[in-house]
Amino acid sequence: PSEEYELLRRRIYSNTKEVWYYIGSTLRSLANEFEYLKTKVSNMKTMVDEHYRSLLRDVAKLADVDGYSQWRWKEFHSLSRLVEKRLRHTQNPPDCSKARKLLCNFFSHCSHNNCCGYGCRVHHFVKCLIVAYATERTMIIENPIRWKFTSRGFENLFLPLSDTCTSNDGDTVSLWPGNETTQVINYFLPTPEYADKQFHPPYIPVVLPEDLAGRINVLHGDPAVWWIGQFFKYIFRPQPSTTIAFNEFAKRVHFQKPIVGLHIRRTDKLIGEASLHRLEEYMYHVEEYYKLKELNGEYDTKRIYLATDEPTLFDEARLKYPEYDIIGDPEISKSAASLQKRDLDDSIMDIITDVYFLSHHCDYLVCTFSSNVCRLSYEIMNSLQPDASAKFTSLDDTFYFHGQVHRLNVALISHKSKGPEEMDLEVGDVIEVAGNHWDGYSKGTHLRTNKTLLYPTFKVTTKIEVLPFASYPNITL
Ligand code: GDP
């Protein structure tokens, strides 16, 4: 398919959603303002919803009937294998004593002996692996104890990052950025709060490698997500015992498809980091998912996989949604709820299991992108198929990478502001995204005026930022 066709097809899909967000939110405020309009508005909303689902279904179907499905899978496998081959190459140098290395020091994501959560830690991990790829260096985990993955080590669960090289020795050592000839570069991973520009390699997502960006952009609706996902796919190659544990879990909880993955983050996250969303808000989007399926003539038991750190949600969901098959393990969320237990080996297995089922086996995700667990599941899900970029609903943030510099939008259609809270746009204007309000508008900082205001989401698109990474001329498929 041409790039133009793929981008158009996806744009129609996402703008169908945008127009629905806009109309839905406008109708809601009309009904709130004018009591006498309530019934009329409610009937109208029912019809608009039907229009929306029918349109969304048709656009989604285009991808099944346009004859390019096979090409998409082929291109997906070809690109994933290429990235994996390059990673195997950098991670397995024939002579470790001569290899150029990047030491990843996982000290800084802990303060006062309090380390950030699993999702946060593995994002640091992947950030480092991406920098190693970009600079064609072997990533070595410095101070694995500090990594606090599990007391039995990362390799108890996943295949080692390297079969040939784990020593941090080298003739020359320097802090990032060092230079081409420095053998060992010590990359001190800063937390976003203490980020020092000096330590910020330019390769951190959502920046993409110049040599692959064009292809990824044709293949995938959010190229940065696909790119990040490939690195998670590499670090999470399971040990056989881990695969067995996943299979046993699937049997025990009677895991079945189709299924919508629900991640509900509560407990400590609600102290200053995210706001509370009721179960009904999540379930609204689950219902939408199944209504679309019904429109396709696909009737099945409605099913959710529930992953949460709030154990009471299992009973609440069973009580309020008796027609649903609710799959998951309340015992897992009990340990997730207990901050003291979280770092124990068995609860590490719990979070790994939840992320595995959300990402590998759920057909759609409903969660909050403010949570690292939710974004991680989405990133991994997108590394396993050509384009799962639309298979989610986030109740709060738009997608971002943990520790990203920024995400940019570029205007495709000009806009005249309708009030002081909106910005003007000219075609080509660039905006640093703050968030999508899921009501037809996004908020962001206009880079020319430096003002943070609202703009209609359908008038922009994601700006793809690229840089030359190591180009691996000898590693081809
Ligand atoms: P964030 O705080 O939600 O951004 O994500 P982090 O991964 O940084 O920290 C959350 C921690 O809460 C994880 O390390 C888990 O221990 C725990 N947690 C949160 N949600 C879940 C869940 O759905 N299942 C399990 N098993 N643990 C969870």
Model pLDDT, residue 187: 86
Which of these, 234, 238, 239, lies nearest to 88 by C-alpha position?
234
Indicate which residue's Cα is closest to atom 11 of ligand 1.
117
Model pLDDT, residue 147: 62
* C-alpha 351 to ligand 1 mean position (Å): 7
Q: Give, for 126, the enclosing helix (H) or strand (E).
A: helix 118-134
Closest-lying ligand 1 atom to the alpha carbon of residue 348: 16
* C-alpha 203 to ligand 1 mean position (Å): 27
**Number of neighbours of residue 165 by Cβ within 10 angstroms:** 22
Closest-lying ligand 1 atom to the alpha carbon of residue 263: 23
Which long-range contacts link 4-11 to residues 24+ away (Cβ below 8 Å)?
Answer: 5/66, 6/218, 6/219, 7/217, 7/218, 9/59, 9/62, 9/63, 9/66, 10/221, 10/387, 10/389, 10/390, 11/461
How far apart CA 283 and CA 280 sit, in angstroms, is: 5
**Residue to mutate, 111, 118, 349, ligand 1, most ligand atoms under 8 Å from C-beta:** 118
Residues with CB under 6 A from ligand 1: 116-120, 263, 265, 269, 307-309, 332, 336, 342, 350-351, 354, 371-373
Indicate which residue's Cα is closest to atom 9 of ligand 1.
117
Model pLDDT, residue 145: 60
* C-alpha 358 to ligand 1 mean position (Å): 13
* C-alpha 413 to ligand 1 mean position (Å): 39
Q: Give, for 466, the enclosing helix (H) or strand (E).
A: strand 466-467
Give per-residue pLDDT as tens, 177-235: 899 999 999 887 655 555 555 567 899 999 999 999 999 999 999 999 999 999 999 99
127 touches 207 (CB < 8 A): no
Closest-lying ligand 1 atom to the alpha carbon of residue 353: 26
Indicate which residue's Cα is closest to atom 22 of ligand 1.
308
Model pLDDT, residue 278: 98
Closest-lying ligand 1 atom to the alpha carbon of residue 265: 20
Structure tokens belonging to residue 198: 């000096």
Closest-lying ligand 1 atom to the alpha carbon of residue 347: 26
Closest-lying ligand 1 atom to the alpha carbon of residue 351: 26
* C-alpha 214 to ligand 1 mean position (Å): 34
* C-alpha 316 to ligand 1 mean position (Å): 20
**Number of neighbours of residue 457 by Cβ within 10 angstroms:** 26
How far apart CA 200 and CA 188 sit, in angstroms, is: 9
Residues of the chain with pLDDT under 70: 106-115, 143-149, 189-199
For residue 161, the 8-state DSSP code is S
How far is residue 55 from each of residues 20, 206, 254, 293, measured CA to CA in Å? 11, 31, 34, 13
Give per-residue pLDDT as tens, 268-299: 999 989 999 999 999 999 999 999 999 999 98
* C-alpha 119 to ligand 1 mean position (Å): 7
Model pLDDT, residue 450: 98
* C-alpha 419 to ligand 1 mean position (Å): 40
* C-alpha 452 to ligand 1 mean position (Å): 31
Describe the crossing of helices 210-219 and 3-33 by its angle, rounded to 10 degrees. Answer: 60
Is ipTM > 0.95 here?
yes
* C-alpha 225 to ligand 1 mean position (Å): 20
**Residue to mutate, 109, 266, 373, 380, ligand 1, most ligand atoms under 8 Å from C-beta:** 373
Indicate which residue's Cα is closest to atom 25 of ligand 1.
351
For residue 110, the 8-state DSSP code is E
Indicate which residue's Cα is closest to atom 6 of ligand 1.
117
Closest-lying ligand 1 atom to the alpha carbon of residue 269: 2
404 touches 379 (CB < 8 A): no
* C-alpha 127 to ligand 1 mean position (Å): 19
Phi-psi region of 428 (alpha: psi -120 to 50; beta: other; left: phi over 0): left
361 touches 83 (CB < 8 A): no
Closest-lying ligand 1 atom to the alpha carbon of residue 342: 16
Model pLDDT, residue 148: 63
Indicate which residue's Cα is closest to atom 26 of ligand 1.
351
Model pLDDT, residue 132: 97
* C-alpha 454 to ligand 1 mean position (Å): 31
